[in-house]
Amino acid sequence: MTELIKSKIRTVPHWPKKGIMFRDITTLLNDPVGFRETIDLLYDRYSNKKVDTVVGIESRGFIIGAPIAYLLKCGFVPIRKPGKLPAEVVSEEYTLEYGTDKIEIHKDAITKGDRIVIVDDLLATGGTINAARNLVKKLGGDIVECTFVIELPDLKGREKIQGENIYSIVAFEGE
């Protein structure tokens, strides 16, 4: 199943800049079999665990996380870029290789003790997921797992989120 999913992910060389091999899941999302396999695999992974809320990181984490939450019969919470959420938010700034960025979550989105699965499409350097993890913990959530469609192990993103359960469907190592 994972090889099928991996085969549906397009590689775009030199995007967004020279030397980057961009892993594009839009081709996976557009493939009915590959998309279904992805959602079914993640649903199966969490169906026997108590999950109160799936948290999806903007924007591809929404696409993967929302159907998982639906199937699990639990809530879905978006983590967004600044200025996109209408109510009171909690923010977390994080470092990129070229500066800083920030993400936000509604202050009332998670209740202390809620069991959370955080979903995103890609684990690369770990900055975004680390910031998301910090937001969930600020609100009192207990993280069941951080899950990704793709992991780029060479970029060592796991090191930024040590102490959490981490799952990725496919890895692109040295590619």
Residue of 99, 137, 98, 121 lying closest to 172 (CA atoms) = 121
Task: Give the Cα separation of 150 and 51 in Å (integer).
Answer: 22
- Amino acid letter, residue 51: V
**Is 23 a known active-site residue?**
no
Residue of 62, 114, 99, 83 lying closest to 91 (CA atoms) = 83
From the candidates 60, 104, 133, 145, which is the catalytic residue?
60
Angle at 68 between CA 65 and CA 69, to 5 degrees: 85
Grouping H, G, I as helix, E, B as strand and the rest as coil, residue 110 is coil
DSSP states along 38-92: HHHHHHHHHTTS--SEEEEETTHHHHHHHHHHHHHT-EEEEEB-TT--SS-EEEE
**Is 97 a known active-site residue?**
yes
From the candidates 58, 88, 92, 97, which is the catalytic residue?
97
Q: List active site positions.
A: 60, 97
